[in-house]
A and B are shown apart, each in its own frame.
Chain A
Amino acid sequence: GAGVSQSPSNKVTEKGKDVELRCDPISGHTALYWYRQRLGQGLEFLIYFQGNSAPDKSGLPSDRFSAERTGESVSTLTIQRTQQEDSAVYLCASSSFTYYEQYFGPGTRLTVT
């Protein structure tokens, strides 16, 4: 497929557990973004990868959140010791460096019980 894919689509976890969310960007897109959307709210920027540059981590809410990206391919967002306030839809997007449009994946709905 040509679009951004994310897995899993839904994740239910117990408070205190670690979770890993995966994003497969569109092939050839150098930029990859993670956003979080809490229920009934807009998207909050989390982290941004651009090629081989150091990622922009300015949106990560705490040190429990981290993300990695291998080259210009897959990215994983890890949340350690999950809390109930981490419950949200986590959206990934990718774009080429000069292109104006960010293409969004379908998201991973995370529920922390």
Chain B
Amino acid sequence: GEDVEQSLFLSVREGDSSVINCTYTDSSSTYLYWYKQEPGAGLQLLTYIFSNMDMKQDQRLTVLLNKKDKHLSLRIADTQTGDSAIYFCASGAAGNKLTFGGGTRVLVKP
């Protein structure tokens, strides 16, 4: 079945850039997503990329997609302490179920 893999943990200093990586197996995925989950809070959609794109930039967030290698990354520029959270990569299609990775815990140190 479909699978999405992420690294477990990332530590970064405030002001530096963070890069979170993800690999997926379902080549039929039309959308790839990044969700953020803060302690005790629900899932918040941060950004998404359509599978025929290779890059999307949204303020401090840059998503890169290598469709050939099925590799997705999220870069957060000028990381702030408020960016400390768990980040989930997910693959799917509009109006269909999502397959989530296990999440990457990002810790931002002052």
A76 interface residue (CB < 8 Å to B): no
CB of B110 to closest CB in A, whole Å: 25
CB of B74 to closest CB in A, whole Å: 15
CB of B46 to closest CB in A, whole Å: 11
Q: Tell me the count of chain B residues lying within 8 A, CB to CB, of chain A.
A: 19
What is the number of contacts between chain A and chain B, taking CB atoms within 8 Å? 53
CB of B49 to closest CB in A, whole Å: 10
> Interface size bucket, A side?
20 to 34
A12 interface residue (CB < 8 Å to B): no
CB of B97 to closest CB in A, whole Å: 5
Contact A91 B42 (CB under 8 A): yes
Chain A 8-26 near chain B by CB (<8 Å), digits 1 or 0: 0000000000000000000
Chain A 27-63 near chain B by CB (<8 Å), digits 1 or 0: 0001101010000011111001010000010010000
Knowing A91-B42, A91-B43, A107-B42 touch, does A102 contact B98 (C-beta < 8 A)?
yes
Q: Which of B10-18, B57-65, B100-108 contacts A (4 or more CB under 8 A)?
A: B100-108
Contact B97 A59 (CB under 8 A): yes
| Complex Cα gap A106–B38 (Å) | 12
Residues of A within 8 A of B24 (CB): none
Knowing A42-B100, A42-B103, A43-B100 touch, does A105 contact B95 (C-beta < 8 A)?
no
Query: Which of A's residues lie within 8 Å of B, judged by CB?
Result: 30-31, 33, 35, 41-45, 48, 50, 56, 59, 91, 93, 95-102, 104-107
Query: Which of B's residues lie within 8 Å of A, judged by CB?
Result: 4, 31, 41-43, 45, 48, 88, 90, 94-103
